[in-house]
């Protein structure tokens, strides 16, 4: 049942969208089709991801007040009450950011599997009004072969992941009164892993396929652009950046 829903709502629509793009892009350049489809999906998810960024920024702004509640010495019940009132006052849901990210995950994974399973744009998966492309050009821009492994694209995928982590909003830190708290240690640990370990993992995964690498590069560049846009244009994110400076 879950497999049927997965194919009906996510996997098959994305396969057909890719087939359509390959058909209309001059020369049947699969690389360009992969980039265009990735950007289209990211644009569709833009409102959700933007709200997730804003939710993280709001939590960063509230961090000093939350730390004051923790330092107040009140009972756990009283701290929970004060925390709830603070969230209510600022109309903030601490779980909304996670929920918005979780909603995006199935779509992102479906897009990944479209490329992971290989570019096979024929057979029963295509809708009746979508014609199988006559030609699949796996030489991206007439230069890079994305039909197999590509060390260059794998390196670029890892580098783009590093810069995405670099431009991510920095987690709020605890005040000097409570140095080394678990929350601060965890945030710093996650930040370090995203910045220095995950890029190598991304490069390793991307080396298996030039198409996968191109997908990750396009996705990361879009995310970097969105993060830069938010820091310059979104008042809530701009305020959060000031709090962390």
Q: Which two tokens stand for residue 87?
A: 């969230």
The gap from C-alpha 211 to its chain's centroid, in whole angstroms, comes to 18
Q: Which two tokens stand for residue 16?
A: 């057909």
pLDDT of residue 178: 41
pLDDT of residue 81: 79
pLDDT of residue 182: 42
- 245 residues of the chain, pLDDT tens digit each: 777 788 888 888 888 998 899 999 988 899 999 999 999 999 998 888 888 787 777 777 777 777 777 777 777 777 777 787 777 777 777 666 666 667 778 888 888 888 876 667 766 778 888 888 888 888 998 888 888 888 999 999 999 999 888 877 665 544 443 444 444 444 555 556 666 788 898 899 888 888 889 999 999 999 999 888 888 877 766 666 665 55
Residue with tokens 């000097």: 176
What length does the chain have? 245
pLDDT of residue 10: 86
Reduced to 3 states (helix: H, G, I; strand: E, B; else coil), residue 157 is helix
Torsion angle, alpha carbons of 178, 181, 186, 189, to 10: 70
Answer whether 174's CB lies under 8 Å from 185's CB: no
pLDDT of residue 177: 39
Phi-psi region of 144 (alpha: psi -120 to 50; beta: other; left: phi over 0): beta
């Amino acid at each position: 049942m879950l497999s049927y829903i997965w194919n009906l709502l996510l996997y098959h629509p994305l396969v057909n969208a890719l087939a359509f793009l390959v058909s209309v892009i001059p020369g049947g350049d699969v690389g360009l089709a992969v980039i265009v489809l990735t950007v289209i999906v990211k644009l569709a998810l833009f409102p959700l991801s933007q709200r997730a960024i804003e939710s993280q920024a709001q939590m960063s702004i509230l961090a000093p007040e939350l730390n004051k509640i923790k330092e107040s010495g009140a009972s756990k019940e009283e701290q929970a009450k004060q925390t709830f009132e603070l969230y209510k006052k600022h109309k903030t849901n601490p779980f909304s950011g996670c929920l918005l990210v979780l909603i995006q995950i199935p779509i992102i994974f479906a897009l990944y599997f479209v490329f992971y399973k290989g570019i096979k744009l024929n057979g029963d998966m295509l809708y009746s009004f979508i014609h199988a492309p006559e030609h699949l050009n796996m030489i991206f821009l007439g230069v890079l072969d994305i039909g197999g492994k590509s060390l260059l694209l794998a390196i670029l995928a890892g580098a783009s992941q590093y810069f995405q982590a670099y431009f991510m909003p920095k987690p709020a830190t605890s005040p000097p009164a409570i140095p080394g708290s678990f929350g601060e240690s965890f945030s710093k640990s996650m930040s370090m892993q995203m910045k220095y370990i995950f890029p190598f993992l991304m490069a390793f995964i991307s080396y298996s396929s030039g198409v996968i690498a191109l997908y990750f590069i396009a996705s990361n560049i879009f995310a970097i652009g969105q993060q830069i846009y938010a820091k310059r244009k979104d008042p809530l994110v701009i305020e959060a950046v000031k709090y962390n400076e």
